[in-house]
Amino acid sequence: MLPALPGAASPGVWTLAWRRFCRDRLGLACLVVVVIYAAVMAACAAGWIVRDWSEEVAVTYAPPSFLGPEAPRGAPAAAAATAPQGALEDYGIPDPLADDLAEIAKELSGVSASETRAATLAFGADKWGRDVLKKAVKGTEISLFVGLVAAALAAFLGTLFGALAGYRGGWIDDFFNWLYSVFTSIPYLLLVLAVATVVNQKGVLTVILILGLTGWTGIFRLIRAEYMKHKVREYVLAADAIGASEARRMFVHILPNVSHVVLVQLSLHVVLFIKSEVILTFLGFGVGVDTVSWGSMLAEAQSELILGKWWQIAAATCAMAVLVTAFSLLTDALRDALDPRLK
Amino acid sequence: MSLLRVRDLAVDFRIDGSTTLRAVKGIGFDVAEHSTVALVGESGSGKTVTALAIMGLLPRENATVHAASRIDYLGRSLLQATNRDLRALRGAEISMIFQEPMSSLNPVFTVGFQIAEALRQHRALPVSQARLRALQLLGEVGLAEPQARLGAYPFQLSGGEQQRVMIAMAIACEPKLLIADEPTTALDVTVQRQILELIAGLQARRRMSVLFITHDLSLVGEIADEVVVMRRGEIREQGRTGRIFSAPQDPYTRALLACRPPLTHRPRRLPVIDDFLKGAPGGAGGEERRRGLRGDEPIILEARGLAKSFYFRDGFFGRRELKAVKGASFKLAKGKTLGVVGESGSGKTTLGLLLMRLHKACGGEVLFEGRDLLPLPPKAAYSYKRRIQIVFQNPYASLNPRFTVGQILMEPMQIHGVGSGAAERRALSLELLGKVGLAAESFAKYPHEFSGGQRQRIAIARALALRPEVLICDESVSALDVSVQAQLLNLLQDLQDEYAMSYLFISHDLAVVRYMADEVMVMKDGEIVEIAGPDEIYSNPKHPYTQLLLSSMPGRAQ
């Protein structure tokens, strides 16, 4: 009785948008870059790569290998260390612990001989001799994770509040507008620092909460406007006419039609929050000392730069610049592909 | 001598990297001096593209005019003209008025400033003189109190007044050729009549030529000397207006003339274009459909004193009341059609939304089989929702673009528990698609893949999914081409015959309402001014407003 349905589903709005996106070569290249970063993040989180980032493998501030090792500044210090030994023998009394000490010294030198600290590394080392390259890779994990999760949180809050305010109107709209005004009337950094002080706990989760809870305002405003525009459209009236509940109209009917706005805002905020995390950590409100992010690398680099050790700041900046640029261009490409006016 | 000569005009539009669409396929026609030529065609016929090509206003990035095309204005080639020459010509020699007067006027400048600007640009008049001239022009296009209108902003004027201002701007520099692109489509019938008379009067007085573009063949008879009928980028027929109407040669022209519901009789089915193109025009001359009420039909829906007001802030404390519907009372008989006629702002759409409970009424009763729906709590009203359904005007806006047709049809069934499972609902949806004349493949497609007429069929199928007893058609065929309109009217009629549904048929189109309705209700400013049978109301209108409406109907004056 049932007529056979054609097998091939026809392209939906998203499929068409994806096809438009695929025509944008720059956008596609940026997508590849972002996907690589995301893969690195996932691999770090799973512990497949750079698990040993915190090991002190090189000498302090070992320069990048293409610069060659630094002039041996350790030699005079070693000579000074040996000098007092000669002075002790002058008393003529045999040291009762000499044998033990010799044994310990021998043991120690044996160990240090087995793990000779490298004089240079591919992209240099930090103050404790940790590999800067590995730190930058490990930093990707934290920074990108913070950016993605905080942006998702902000987008979720902004969309939910915007949908409620825009669709329901009345006192709900007034309330959320009041909340919006309160959040936007306080200078951003002050607000961030205030939340940080209240939470009073360092860590990745704190940073995510700070950024997510303060960053929803812009998205809220846009989504609210979109909902106000859509709720009087005929397809929403038609949904009402067939008896669709209010929640269904808001989230099944309207949300997919404004989701391109959310998506573009989401990727814009990822960029924004990656930069914010760096600033927060730089100011000392970011991730703890036991973890590394691009922000903490930049914070360390402050003092290194005076000594002329530029490689840590270069590594963190490059890693961040590439990701942020790629993500921003990706956002532009997304906006072009998803713009419903082009249909 | 002809003022404008178009020969072999062909225009390509680039849609994306690989596909181009030929919008105009080598057409040619002349516009003689002091004459009116009408370019008639349905959407996609290339009539607006032709006008834009003449004005040199085609978008450069994706439109290309073929090298062999020629457009000559008084012997000068417009296609070879430089931008500078074209700019000097536009507005001064050739000017254009558009369909939407609201979006063609700049909202932040006063009317007087915008007219004077055209004069200063082309005639280099000093400000004071340009202002004086603008004042004269506003008087000439028949605006009341032109002195006061000079300082008005576009939003302070009604649609008809805005179109008059547009016309004043267009004739400001005394052009030889006026291109009017659907100048009356967005306007009410009574205003449309005034604007048509204005254009005809100006044409005669100023001895200009007019290229009048429209989709409505019935308008053309009153204004044009020559008619050019276009379809899909080609000219199907051209000739003197009288000849086109009395002895159309091309089957398409014949179809266009026959598709509109006639005013003299009521065929059982309206002929559609395919009948003519296949050479077998049906419908005409067949049996007649009987309309009207006997008076003893059971009443399914009754409104008593239905009222709705909208409130606007006025000043700091005050609020202004706008009575959209003022105490409307009427009865809808089972299996019959009640036509609602009125101009924009008459409250007919609000009335439909009130009956659906999509707007909250301020007073009155809606009795469905004797039970008042308005005070029911949402839960109890829920079961009535499936018994009254609505089909909206704009088929492009009333379907959710992110849903497939299948989802659109199955959603109401899910919500109301029609059908026991997904498989049964799918079978029901496919049956509905067949009913409204769409292929089963449509099930998995998205709305954007369909034309306007097909989308309206989907909207009808969605309304039918709940097997409603009352269907409100709110201008459901108004946005569609004449030929598609005829198909949908036939479909609605077939469905009524099959399911004995009652229709509340809201439309501004008097001919369509006369064809469809068993009883006609005329609304003006929220009030019902007259209710009567269709033949009675059209032959013997009682209320002065009904008389005015009927005398404004295009095609009636002949």
pLDDT tens-digit profile of B27-63?
888 888 888 999 988 887 888 889 888 888 888 888 8
Cα–Cα dist B307/B328, whole Å: 7
Contacts of B492 (CB under 8 A, 6+ apart): B460, B473, B476, B503, B516
| Top mean-pLDDT range of A7-11, A276-280, B118-122, B405-409 | B405-409
Q: What is the mean pLDDT of residues B137-157?
A: 83
Confidence check: pLDDT of B377 > 70: yes
Domain that holds residue B534: 299-387+466-552
CA distance B88 to B102: 25
DSSP summary character for residue A97: T
Please indicate, yes or no, if residue B16 is contained in any of the structural domains: no
Residue B42 belongs to some domain of the structure: no
Cα angle B451, B457, B462 (rounded to 5 degrees) comes to 125
Q: Is A70 exposed, middle or buried (0-12, 13-18, 19+ CB in 10 A)?
A: middle
Max mean pLDDT among A41-45, A128-132, B54-58, B502-506 falls in B502-506
Q: Does the pLDDT value for residue B276 go beyond 60?
A: yes
CATH of the domain at B503: 3.40.50.300
B400/A3 Cβ within 8 A:
no
Question: What is the pLDDT confidence band of residue A6, given thresholds at 50, 70 and 90?
Answer: very low
Could you tell me whether strands B299-314 and B177-181 are parallel, antiparallel, or unpaired per DSSP bridges?
unpaired
B535 found inside a domain? yes
pLDDT in tens, A106-153: 766 655 544 567 777 777 787 777 888 888 888 888 889 999 999 999
Q: Record the tokens describing residue B478, joined without a space.
A: 């108004």
Read off the pLDDT of residues A52-81 as tens digits, 9 standing for 90 and up: 777 777 777 777 777 777 655 544 444 444
Chain B residues in contact with A237 (beta carbon < 8 A):
353, 358, 390, 392, 398
**A91-101 pLDDT tens trace:** 667 777 777 88
More confident residue, A167 or B288: A167
Contact B537, B520 (CB under 8 A): yes
What average pLDDT score do residues B472-484 get? 84
The radius of gyration of chain B from alpha carbons, rounded to an integer in Å, stands at 25
Q: Quickly tell me which residue has 């493949």 as its tokens.
A: B441
| C-alpha closest to that of A263 among A40, A17, A9, A12 | A17
- Per DSSP bridges, beta strands B76-77 and B70-73 are antiparallel
Higher local confidence (pLDDT), A200 or B530: B530
> Chain B residue closest to A259 (CA)?
B402
- Residue B165's nearest CA partner among B94, B96, B101 is B101
Query: DSSP label at A340?
Result: G
To the nearest 10°, report the CA torsion of B115, B120, B125, B130.
20
pLDDT at A4: 41
Mean predicted lDDT score pLDDT of chain A: 80
- Does residue A343 belong to the interface with chain B, where contact is any CB pair within 8 Å? yes
Q: How far is CA B507 from the centre of its chain?
A: 10
Q: Which of residues 5-44 of A touch B (CB under 8 A)?
A: 5-6, 9-13, 23
- The pLDDT score that the predictor gives to residue A92 is 67
Q: What is the pLDDT of residue A80?
A: 45
**pLDDT at res. B286:** 62
Interface contact A5-B443, CB threshold 8 A: yes
Asked if this assembly's ipTM is beyond 0.90, the reply is no
Local confidence band at A177 (pLDDT 50, 70, 90 cut-offs)? very high
Alpha-carbon distance of A21 to A288, in angstroms, equals 39
In whole angstroms, give the CA distance from residue B75 to residue A205.
Answer: 77
CB pair distance less than 8 Å for B444 and A6: yes
Q: For the stretch B19-29, what's the b/e string if a residue is b when 16 or more beta carbons lie within 10 angstroms of its beta carbon?
A: eeeebbbbbeb
User: What are B418-472's pLDDT values in tens digits?
Assistant: 888 889 999 999 999 988 888 888 888 888 888 888 888 899 999 988 889 999 9
Please compute the mean of the pLDDT values over residues B404-410 and round it to a whole number.
91
Q: Which residue in chain B has the smallest CA separation from A9?
A: B444
**Residue B12 lies inside a defined structural domain of this protein:** no
Mean pLDDT score of chain B, rounded to an integer? Answer: 85
The share of chain B scoring above pLDDT 90, in percent, equals: 10
* DSSP structural state of residue B11: E
| Domains identified in chain B, total number | 1
Which residues lie across from B323 on neighbouring strands? B309
Of B294, B339, B296, give the one whose Cα is nearest residue B492.
B339
- Most confidently modeled of A286-290, B72-76, B261-265? B72-76
Percent of chain A with pLDDT over 70: 85
More confidently predicted of A18 and B288: A18
Instruction: Determine whether the interchain pair B426/A343 forms a contact, defined as Cβ–Cβ distance below 8 Å.
Output: no
Q: What is the rounded average pLDDT of the residues A20-39?
A: 89
From B277, B219, B283, select the one nearest B250 (Cα to Cα).
B277
Residue B538 to residue B556: CA distance in whole angstroms: 11
The span from the CA of B474 to the CA of B348, in Å, is: 8
Q: What is the mean pLDDT of residues B309-332?
A: 82
- Please give the helix or strand (H or E) that residue A219 lies within, else none: helix A217-231
Cβ atoms of B517 and B533 within 8 Å: the answer is no
Average pLDDT on B243-265 reads 83
Q: Which of B399, B411, B506, B503 is nearest to B458 (CA)?
A: B399
Determine contact, residues B436/B471, Cβ cutoff 8 Å: no
Rounded-to-integer distance, Cα B330 and Cα B308, Å = 15
Size of chain A, expressed as the number of residues it contains = 343
Chain A and chain B share a number of CB contacts under 8 A equal to: 86
On the question of pLDDT at B157 being above 70, the answer is: yes
pLDDT over 70 at A7, yes or no:
no
Q: Which residue of A lies nearest to B359 if distances are taken between CA atoms?
A: A237
pLDDT tops 80 at residue A171: yes
Entry field: residues in chain B? 558
Cα separation values, B236 from B209, B233, B368, Å: 23, 9, 50
Mean pLDDT, residues B364-375: 87
Question: Has residue B279 been placed in a domain?
Answer: no
Per-residue tokens: B23 = 């919008």
**Half-sphere exposure (CA, 13 Å, Cβ side) for A52?**
6
Q: What is the distance between the alpha carbons of residues B341 and B343, in angstroms, rounded to a whole number?
A: 7
Query: How far is the C-alpha of B124 from the C-alpha of B95, rounded, in Å?
Result: 17
pLDDT value of residue B409: 92
Answer whether residue B414 is part of any domain: no
What is the pLDDT, as a whole number, of residue A220? 95
* Confidence class for position B557, pLDDT limits 50, 70, 90: very low
Residue B93 lies in a domain: no
- Provide the shortest C-alpha distance from residue B42 to chain A (in Å): 22
Which residue in B409, B428, B407, B411 sits closest to B419, CA to CA? B428
- Least confident residue range of A30-34, A162-166, A212-216, B85-89: B85-89
pTM exceeds cut of 0.80 = no
β pairing state of B63-65 and B70-73: unpaired
In B334-488, where do the E strands start and end? 337-341, 363-368, 371-372, 388-391, 470-474
- In chain A the domains, ranked by start, together with CATH numbers, are 22-49+124-342 (1.10.3720.10)
B189-216 burial, b at 16+ Cβ within 10 Å, e below that, comes to bebbbbbbebbbebbeeeebbbbbbbbb
Contact criterion met (CB < 8 Å) for A243 and B386: yes
